[in-house]
Structure 1
C-alpha cells in the first residue's frame, strides 16, 4: 500500500473526529482505551492482534499487515490518531478486497448486484479487478461492477429519479384537463344562446298576445 493512501485515510478520520460533537468524540476515545490494555497511551501489535481476534473488528486476513498500514509513523505502535483511523475503517464499512483479501484504502470496484441485493457487498481492489488471470471468483460478471465514485453518483441519480413525477403520465393529464375545459366553455356558450333564444321567443309571444287582446277590446 502506498504511503499517501495511508495518510489520506488518517486525515479523513481526523477530520471526522475534529468536526464531531463531544459525545461522538468520546466513542473513539473509549475504543482506544479498550485496545490500550497496559494504559501506556499506545497500542502494540499484540494488543492490536488480541482485539482483532477477540472482537472480530475487521475482516483482515493478515492483521500484522493491517497494523503496518495503520502505523504511518513507523514507530511499531499505534497512537491515538492511528487508532481513530482504524475506528473510521470499522464504522464506515471500508472494504477488504474479495480477491487478495487486503484492506483497500483508496478506490475500489463494487458489484452493483451484490450491493443492492446481497447481505454482504463484494468489492475488489483495482489491481485484482484488472488482473487478466482473475485472482477472484465471483458469480456476477465484470460489467456489473462500478468504482466507488461512479456507484455513489449512480445511486444519487436513482434517488433523484424516484422523487420525480413520471413525465409521460403528467403531460396527457394536462392536455385532457385543458380539452375538458374548452368543451365545458363551448357547452356553456351554446346553452346560453339557447336560453336567450327561448327567452326572446317567449317575450315575442307575450307581446303578440297582448296586441291581440288590445285589438279585441277596441
Structure 2
C-alpha cells in the first residue's frame, strides 16, 4: 500500500538470494527441493517435511510443524519450490529458534552478545519472550548483554574497526567501560553502564576495550 513501508519476508529474501546466485548454487537448491519431494509431485507435504527434518537433521527444530506452518505462506498445506527455497535460506543463514517459547523466529530477534562470541550455541529469544513478561526463559547472562540482530551486526562491524586501530599512547587515558557496553547504552537506552567491570564482556568483545576516550557509538 502506498505510504507504507514494505516488509520483506523470508520467502522474498530467499528469492533475492536465489536470483543473484551462481548456477551451481541454484542447482544445489533445486536438488535440495527434489530430495524433499519424495513422491515427485512438485510440492513438499508435511509428512515429507517431517521425514527430512528427522532423518537429515537439517535444522535444530524444537517444533517442526510450527516451522512448516511459518514456511507455508500461501496456506495450501504444502511447500512449493519458493517456500522450500526459503527453508534452504533458513538453514544456511542459521536463523534461530527462540530459547524461551521454542518457536521458530521468522523476523527480528535478540541474541546474548556474550554467548554469541564465546559459547558453543548462541542464545536467542523472540521479542515477546525477551520482554519476559510470561517468564518463559532463564539465562545465565543479564538482559543488558542482549542485542537485536541489527544492533549485533553493527556491533560486530564496529568492533572489527576498533581492533584495526592502533593502541592508545601511554599518555592517553583509557575509558573504563568497554565499547560494547557503550553500544548497549545507546542500543537499549540504559542510563549508565560506565561503571560496569570490563570482565563482564569476555572473549572477542574484550578487544574493544582498546577504544580511546571520546570514541562515539551510535546505531542510529
Normalising by structure 2, report the TM-score: 0.72
What is the Cα deviation at residue 91 of structure 1? Answer: 0.4
Establish whether residue 120 from structure 1 lines up as the match of residue 111 from structure 2. no
Once superposed, what is the RMSD of the aligned Cα atoms?
A: 1.7
Aligned partner of 1:154 in structure 2 is 155
CA contact (8 A) 2:111 2:123 kept: yes
Aligned partner of 1:50 in structure 2 is 51
Within 5 Å, give how 1:126-141 maps onto structure 2: 126-141=127-142
Q: Once the two structures are superposed, what CA deviation does each residue of 1:96-117 show, in whole Å capped at 9, x if it has no partner?
A: 0000010111111100110010
Q: Once the two structures are superposed, what CA deviation does each residue of 1:83-132 show, in whole Å capped at 9, x if it has no partner?
A: 00000000000010000010111111100110010011000000001023
Give 5+ residue unaligned stretches, structure 1. Answer: 172-218
Within 5 Å, give how 1:8-47 maps onto structure 2: 8-47=9-48
- Structure whose residues are more often helix by fraction: 1
2:132, 2:125 → 1: CA distance? 11
Give 5+ residue unaligned stretches, structure 2. Answer: 1-5, 173-220
Aligned partner of 1:144 in structure 2 is 145
1:111, 1:125 → 2: CA distance? 12
Question: For 2:111, what is the secondary structure of its paired residue?
Answer: strand
2:170, 2:159 → 1: CA distance? 19
2:40, 2:134 → 1: CA distance? 47
Question: For 2:147, what is the secondary structure of its paired residue?
Answer: strand
What is the Cα deviation at residue 170 of structure 1? Answer: 10
How many correspondences in the alignment?
Answer: 167
1:154, 1:131 → 2: CA distance? 24
Question: Which runs of structure 1 show a deviation greater than 4 angstroms over 4 or more consecutive aligned residues?
Answer: none
Normalising by structure 1, report the TM-score: 0.73
Q: Once the two structures are superposed, what CA deviation does each residue of 1:66-96 show, in whole Å capped at 9, x if it has no partner?
A: 1111111111110000000000000000010
Q: Which moved more, 1:58-67 or 1:40-49?
A: 58-67
1:97, 1:63 → 2: CA distance? 13
What is the Cα deviation at residue 167 of structure 1? Answer: 4.2
CA contact (8 A) 2:66 2:104 kept: no
Within 5 Å, give how 1:70-149 maps onto structure 2: 70-149=71-150
Q: Which one has the largest radius of gyration?
A: 1
